[in-house]
Amino acid sequence: MDLHLPSGKVDLVDQKTASPIQKPKTERHRMSSRLAGKVAIITGAGSGIGRAAAELFAAEGARVMCADIHAEAVRQTANAIGAAAISATVDVSVPEQVERMVLETASAFGRLDVMYANAGIGEAANVIDLTIEQWNRMIAINLTSVWLSAKYALPHLIKAGGGSIINQSSSAGLIGIPGVPHYAAAKAGVIGLTRQIAAEYGPLNIRCNAICPSAIPTPLMVTVWEKRARDAKSTASIPEQEVAAAAKLPLRRLGTTADCANLALFLASDESSWISGVAMPLDGGLTAT
């Protein structure tokens, strides 16, 4: 794991969305203090939801460790934020690297208040053709990494007198979605782990919640759509698939990285101080149908 210190001035940039069916934010982040004095770790911060959350957390007063397996991408995230952020290249499925990430955060900022285990991968497959290698890789990155993040963060959260753990799950962990068996199993596991942590560490003022997004066209999601199209020998473009996916949702639009970052901000803040053990859908109404 490599630790990277920020350079350059603070330049908080809104996440822009490419899809015409999404509603992008049109204002820059407004500086506030919802996370003033707090220190957060966000994994998968090199792009997509993780980057949006890192920028928003910093805008709301937090100091942020931005972690990702992609060194240059996560360095760019931290540099865009400025002095309130540091970055580290981390494979979240490797215990020693996750432990070092947490220790470097506590050393740099003096404490830890929020652990947002957002990093993950996506892949289309089916139960019959899925290989053991695909299964093990998915479980390692999307489930084991969440446990590792909590394992090494919890002692620091307890030392701080409490804190918030936010785990990234998925609507696939709540309902049956064809074509992602290993992904669904991992994300359902995240929900079970979230509830267990909430029950066991609640008496120590530790909250633990899971976010369960549906279709948000991050680079990860686009990769899944591309593979599905190839497997189905479909000529549908990504924008066409986005339109079709949005049409299935009661709100008739896909989510944005800002939607997820805003929910993570709420769960990281004291505004959610009596919310724990919840698997919160963020899906445009998908699980209501």
Instruction: Say if CB 19 and CB 254 are below 8 A apart.
Output: yes
Instruction: Say if CB 145 and CB 93 are below 8 A apart.
Output: yes
Verify that 262 and 249 share a domain, yes or no: no
Average pLDDT over residues 216-237: 76
Active-site residue flag, 116? no
The tokens for 209 are 């919640």
15: in domain: no
Average pLDDT over residues 120-130: 95
225: in domain: yes
Verify that 113 and 220 share a domain, yes or no: no
Verify that 55 and 88 share a domain, yes or no: yes
Average pLDDT over residues 121-127: 93
Catalytic residue among 116, 152, 183, 201: 183
**236 has a pLDDT exceeding 70:** yes
Q: Mean pLDDT across the chain, nearest whole number?
A: 90
pLDDT above 90: percentage of residues in the chain = 78
Verify that 204 and 247 share a domain, yes or no: no
Instruction: Say if CB 249 and CB 285 are below 8 A apart.
Output: yes
Q: Which of 16-20, 68-72, 265-269 has the lowest mean pLDDT?
A: 16-20
C-alpha span between 156 and 57 (Å, rounded) = 19
12: in domain: no
Verify that 104 and 227 share a domain, yes or no: no
Q: Please, which pLDDT band fits residue 51 given cuts at 50, 70 and 90?
A: very high
C-beta neighbour count of 252 within 10 angstroms? 11
Instruction: Say if CB 86 and CB 4 are below 8 A apart.
Output: yes
Range of the domain at 225: 215-254
Verify that 137 and 227 share a domain, yes or no: no
Domain containing residue 77: CATH number:
3.40.50.720
Verify that 64 and 139 share a domain, yes or no: yes
pTM for the model: 0.88
21: in domain: no
**22 has a pLDDT exceeding 80:** no
Q: Please, which pLDDT band fits residue 30 given cuts at 50, 70 and 90?
A: low
- Measured between alpha carbons, how far is residue 240 from residues 44, 161, 236, 279 in Å? 27, 49, 6, 30
287: in domain: no
Verify that 45 and 114 share a domain, yes or no: yes
13: in domain: no
The confidence score (pLDDT) of residue 4 equals: 60
**24 has a pLDDT exceeding 70:** no
Q: How close are the terminal C-alpha atoms of the chain, in Å?
A: 43
Verify that 44 and 171 share a domain, yes or no: yes
Verify that 227 and 142 share a domain, yes or no: no
The confidence score (pLDDT) of residue 161 equals: 98
Verify that 163 and 43 share a domain, yes or no: yes
Q: Please, which pLDDT band fits residue 31 given cuts at 50, 70 and 90?
A: low
Q: How many domains does the chain have?
A: 2
Verify that 139 and 198 share a domain, yes or no: yes
86: in domain: yes
- Measured between alpha carbons, how far is residue 86 from residues 138, 151, 267 in Å? 27, 21, 22
61: in domain: yes
Q: E strand or H helix at 280, and its extent?
A: strand 279-282
Q: Please, which pLDDT band fits residue 65 given cuts at 50, 70 and 90?
A: very high
